[in-house]
Amino acid sequence: MANVFAVQVFFILFRECLEAVIIVSVLLSFLKQSLGQPHQDQAIYRRLRRQVWAGSITGIVCCLIIGGAFIGVFYGLGHDIWSNAEQLWEGIFYLIATIIVTVMGLALLRINKTKEQWRIKIAKALVEKNKHGKKSRLLGNWARRYAMFLLPFITTMREGVEAVVFVGGVSLGYPATAFPLPVFTGMVAGLTCGYLIYRGGNVLSIQLFLIASTCVLYLIAAGMFSKSIWDLQYYVFQMRVGSDVAEEGSGAGSYNILQTVWHVNCCNAETDNGWDVFNAILGWENTGTYGSVISYNVYWIFIMLCVAYMLWEERSGRKSLRERMLVVMAKVPGLSWYAKPKLAVLQENPEDIVRQVHSGLFNEEPVVEQQMVEMK
Amino acid sequence: MLPYLGYLLLLLLSKPLRAKEVVYDFNVTWVTANPDGLADRKVVGINGQWPLPVIEVDKGDQLVVNMYNGLGDKSTSIHFHGMYQNGTNEMDGASMVTQCPVAPGSSITYNFTVNQNGTYWYHCHTDYCYPDGYRQALIVHDNNSYFANEYEEEFTVTLSDWYHELAEDIKPEFMSVYNPTGAEPIPNSWLFNDTQGMSLSVKPNTTYLLRLVNIAAFTAQYFYIEDHNFTIVEIDGVYTEPTEANLLYVAVAQRYSVLLTTKDTADKNYAIVTVVDSTLLDTITPDLQLNHTNWLEYDASATKPQANITVAESSDLSPFDDATLIPYDHMPLLENPTVTVNVAVVMDNLDNGKGYAFLNDISYTAPKVPTLYSVMSAGDLATDATVYGDFTHTQVVDHMDIVEIILNNNDTGSHPFHLHGHVFQVVDRYPPYGSDFFEFADAGIPQPYDPNNHSAFPAYPPRRDTIVVPPAGYVVLRFRADNPGVWIFHCHIDWHLMQGLAMTFVEAPLMIQEKLTIPADHYAACVASDVEHEGNAAGNTVDLLDLSGQNQQPGWIPDGFTTRGIVSMVFTVLSAILGMGSIVLYGLSDLKHAKKPETQAEVSGQGVQGGQDDEYQD
């Protein structure tokens, strides 16, 4: 199963697609609020809406092309080298994947918050566009004319490339056959979920769905973390034994008995059918080593501590860890380009920007919605 | 009166001839040797010499070996391989079986009558000491052999493997969690008469007796002489009907005597070829030289070409099948065994991760008291195998029992098994030597012996003291228990003996008690080594059936979940559940952020949304 369906890939695609959908939906609702009212020019509204769709879809297509090339190059250059020391690389890649999934996973549960942040981000971008547009008339006019195309285009492409890099990092241990299915299903699930959110489906049931999938995501991450430790330990064992380990199958000698907490002479994730599913989702190995068992527990404890901290952070209204990290990063020369815009979004007064957007974006149009925004 | 007097005179004259005493004084010390020209190493020398002296006696002689252990750091002993020791079981030399190890600074005297003939060898039999060079041929000359007048001169040829490391330094890597398959240490080189590339100088048209002895620790070798046939006349001290052969497979501890008649012309030298059985070696590095050439030298000035070996694999060679030989005395097949021992060779790992060897499920673990001394101190209980411990794998047999050993091999390697104190009849072996010998070496499906379906037993089965069990095959052996004593039956690959591939026969224990007197210096060796010499296998002298404290093999690897596994599994599941619980908590707390988008959706979605809400709720 792991050779056909890389579960991590599914979740990354799911999350990135959801995010893309949210961007598009936020844009669409802006348009709707600003221009989509019955008394306004429906032609302009439809044109801009088409632009949003065109931009998003072009962005996704571009990122697919870039991503495809990226993964192709990764595989073409590296996979043979990595497969020679399978356990070592698997261990390292699982470790990287665990870190990626862990960092981005909990954000999935702040989907409503994320949506809000995107609203601000986009609004801010629109305001910026308006300001800078004056510098070059030609470019300014063009950018203004196609703002509703460029914005979703750039954001979806950026999110997409991010997804591709994550997928690449997470899945180098897998054969190429493990990609198509999770990529496809992940996208479908992400788009569906995003659509439900856009249509304003039952917030609770959507949230429950997200919670459930996050739980699965973290189960996978814990398993991957445990498995990465297992792989690294096994690699060391294998190095010392030599090639003989593979000869032993599941039996005695196929594992280091001195590090073993349990061992069953069956259910080998590498060789026995069905158990690779457990391996992919829960990190099952037919040998539990001290390293793998302890790391699995430690991972969950770490997650619990993180959650506790973040909840405390939210409730106490302190600067979030993310914000503080961004502040630090903004001071590092190489990283400031990345950190500053994100920081700006966080630090800006959200209501201000949104108001600016509604009042200033299409200033030839009458400001109808302003009152409504203010009421919130 | 006169004829009687003449007879008496003859008896008096002949007696010293027949029963001379041959005394060897062995001071055993470390010396340095470099027999293969590749590396100096520490070897066990005798009287400052290595190679060691060949012990030579005539049939009927009294052999006395006074050994002083001057090694300083290692215990030792001498086993005279193939000697029946009938009535002198205490002289057999196997540590923790018939004696205590002789500690550094101690002495021991071996003193026994050699009432047998042929080609033997002697070697250390304490732990794993003979790969360090402590082994050499022992020849018992017999002027009355049926072929005594057929040869002009005799040569003794020893074949051996050679390690550059001390066995005690090899052991930690061999018996290691990182060697789970129990891959045997690969020798660094192979020796022929403790050297390489030597010549046996021969005259044309002459018959020689060649005594071949494999004194190696591990590997068997094929042996042949280019363009020469020879006649087998002895195996392991038992004369055989003269049998023509051109290729022999000499396993560790086996001996062959062959008559070799040289060619009429002396213009050319011929290669004596030895080929290592490479199926025994798990890894063969390119620098390992498995084929060796020595020469039958007709003309010292002629060239000595290297042998041209035509087979790609040593297993392509098809050696003479020793199971088809007929003993010269035509001793008939021992019928109707009274005791049958059915054991299988198994290689497996125990819970310390190291590889062990088993006969059935017992890996021989030396007792705390040498088994012979347990016999001597056990009184009437000596007939109860319990006394000898659970891990010596002891089989008690009565005097004159006909013992049948069915030895199945569940392992895919071949094993040269040796029985002390006896030669056994080889009544069946499968697969036989030849092209099928390694048939099951790869497939690995053991072919156990079926008493109801086997090839016909020979009328006059060959007898020897060391027999090769084929990979995944079997041998059936029989012997008459006519030699009261404690005899160990073991694989002669020293690494396998280290792993416990052995069992013990205690033969007529009550007769042992009657007939045997343990010399004082043997018991003194125990005191010097701090080894108990009374009581059962656990050293218990009060209750001989109480084995608490006995030496044991490590535990079996548990299959599946033990307490520790279950506990850790429970904690693992618990932490996963709690962790997910925290995620759920965190997720639900996001709902407070949801207010804004909800109102916004109301604004933007307007009328469309009401109907679709329900659809997505479930």
Closest partner residue to B596 among A301, A372, A376, by Cβ? A376
Pair (A218, A334) in one structural domain:
no
Residue A363 binned pLDDT confidence (cut-offs 50, 70, 90): very low
**DSSP 8-state code for residue A69:** H
The pLDDT, as a whole number, for residue A356 is: 64
Domain assignment of residue A336, given as a range: 319-364
What percentage of chain A's residues is helix, strand, coil (to nearest 5)? 80, 0, 20
Residues 6 or more apart whose Cβ sits within 8 Å of residue B45? B28, B29, B30, B31, B33, B52, B133
What are phi and psi for residue A189, nearest 5 degrees? -65, -45
Q: What is the gyration radius of the CA atoms in chain B, in angstroms?
A: 31
Q: Under an 8 A CB cutoff, do A376 and B599 touch? A: yes
Pair (A23, A158) in one structural domain:
yes
A299, two tokens: 């991972």
Q: Are B370 and B516 in contact (CB under 8 A)?
A: no
Q: Is B499 on the interface with A (CB under 8 A)?
A: no
Closest partner residue to A218 among B351, B580, B612, by Cβ? B580
Q: Under an 8 A CB cutoff, do A257 and B612 touch? A: no
Between the two ends of chain B, the Cα-to-Cα distance in Å is 128
| Minimal C-alpha gap between B580 and chain A (Å) | 6
**DSSP 8-state code for residue A5:** -
Residue A252 binned pLDDT confidence (cut-offs 50, 70, 90): low
Closest partner residue to B582 among A207, A253, A303, by Cβ? A303
More confident residue, A171 or B103: B103
| Minimal C-alpha gap between A205 and chain B (Å) | 6
Residue from B147, B153, B160 nearest B50 by CA: B160
Q: Is the pLDDT of residue A310 over 90?
A: no
For residue A120, being part of any structural domain is answered with: yes
- For residue B330, how far is the Cα from the chain centroid? 28
Closest partner residue to B583 among A113, A197, A218, by Cβ? A218
Between the two ends of chain A, the Cα-to-Cα distance in Å is 49
CA distance B545 to B541: 9
Provide the number of structural domains found in chain A. Answer: 2
Closest partner residue to B590 among A112, A219, A296, by Cβ? A112
- What is the b/e burial string over A285-309, where b = at least 16 CB atoms within 10 angstroms of the residue's CB? bbbbbebbbbbbbebbeebbebbee
Last residue within a domain, chosen from A227, A244, A264 = A227
CA distance B160 to B215: 5
Residue A278 DSSP SS3 = helix
The pLDDT, as a whole number, for residue B290 is: 93
Q: Does the global pTM surpass 0.90?
A: no
Please state the ipTM of this predicted complex: 0.72
Residues 6 or more apart whose Cβ sits within 8 Å of residue B574? none
Neighboring chain B residues of A314 at a CB cutoff of 8 Å = 589
Last residue within a domain, chosen from A209, A227, A245 = A227
* B185, HSE (Cβ side, Cα atoms, 13 Å): 29
Residues 6 or more apart whose Cβ sits within 8 Å of residue A153? A55, A56, A58, A59, A62
Neighboring chain A residues of B613 at a CB cutoff of 8 Å = 200-202
Neighboring chain B residues of A110 at a CB cutoff of 8 Å = 590, 593
Q: Is B564 on the interface with A (CB under 8 A)?
A: yes
How does the average pLDDT of chain A come out, rounded? 73
Neighboring chain B residues of A196 at a CB cutoff of 8 Å = 616
CA distance A203 to A191: 16
The pLDDT, as a whole number, for residue A11 is: 75
The predicted-structure confidence for A29-88, as pLDDT tens digits, reads as follows 777 776 667 777 777 778 888 888 888 888 888 887 887 777 777 666 665 555 556 677
Q: What is the mean pLDDT of each run of 10 residues along chain B (618 residues)?
A: 50 57 96 95 95 96 96 94 95 96 96 96 94 96 94 96 95 90 92 95 96 96 95 97 96 97 93 94 90 94 88 89 95 96 94 92 96 95 95 96 96 95 96 88 86 92 96 96 96 96 96 95 94 94 93 86 85 91 86 54 37 35
Last residue within a domain, chosen from A227, A246, A263 = A227
Which numeric CATH code is attached to B148-327? 2.60.40.420
Residues 6 or more apart whose Cβ sits within 8 Å of residue B437? B315, B414, B431, B470, B471
For residue A303, being part of any structural domain is answered with: no
Q: Under an 8 A CB cutoff, do B181 and A248 touch? A: yes
Q: Under an 8 A CB cutoff, do A202 and B616 touch? A: yes
Q: What is the DSSP string of B363-415?
A: -----SS-HHHHHHHSGGGGG-GGGG-SSS-EEEE-TT-EEEEEEEE-SSS-E
For residue A135, being part of any structural domain is answered with: yes
Closest partner residue to B585 among A240, A257, A307, by Cβ? A307
Residue from A158, A152, A116 nearest A28 by CA: A152
For residue A165, being part of any structural domain is answered with: yes
Closest partner residue to B587 among A196, A210, A219, by Cβ? A210
**Comparing B17-146 with B148-327, is the CATH topology the same?**
yes
| Minimal C-alpha gap between B395 and chain A (Å) | 29
Question: Domain segments of chain B: what residues?
Answer: 17-146, 148-327, 339-529
Interface size between A and B, measured as CB pairs under 8 A: 178
Question: Which of the residue ranges A184-193, A224-233, B253-262, B599-608 would you say has the lowest mean pLDDT?
Answer: B599-608
Q: Is the pLDDT of residue A271 over 70?
A: no
CA distance B206 to B150: 10
Amino acid sitting at position B440: F
Work out the angle between the directed axes of helices A180-198 and A203-241 (0-180°, nearest 10). 160
The pLDDT, as a whole number, for residue B36 is: 93
Residues 6 or more apart whose Cβ sits within 8 Å of residue B146? B233, B239, B328
Residue carrying the six token digits 């098809």: B318
The pLDDT, as a whole number, for residue A311 is: 85
The pLDDT, as a whole number, for residue A357 is: 62
Neighboring chain B residues of A244 at a CB cutoff of 8 Å = 179-181, 183, 282
Residue A315 neighbours by CB distance under 10 Å? 9
CA distance B390 to B393: 6
| Minimal C-alpha gap between A206 and chain B (Å) | 8
Alpha helices in B48-206 (DSSP H): 167-174
B339-529 folds as Immunoglobulin-like (2.60.40)
Mean pLDDT for the stretch of residues A336-364: 63
Q: Are B580 and B588 in contact (CB under 8 A)?
A: no
Q: Under an 8 A CB cutoff, do B587 and A300 touch? A: no
- CATH class in words for B17-146: mainly beta
Q: Are A373 and A353 in contact (CB under 8 A)?
A: no
Pair (A223, A323) in one structural domain:
no
Pair (A99, A219) in one structural domain:
yes
Q: Best residue in A300, A354, A373 to probe B by mutation, most B CBs within 10 Å?
A: A300
Q: Are B404 and B340 in contact (CB under 8 A)?
A: yes
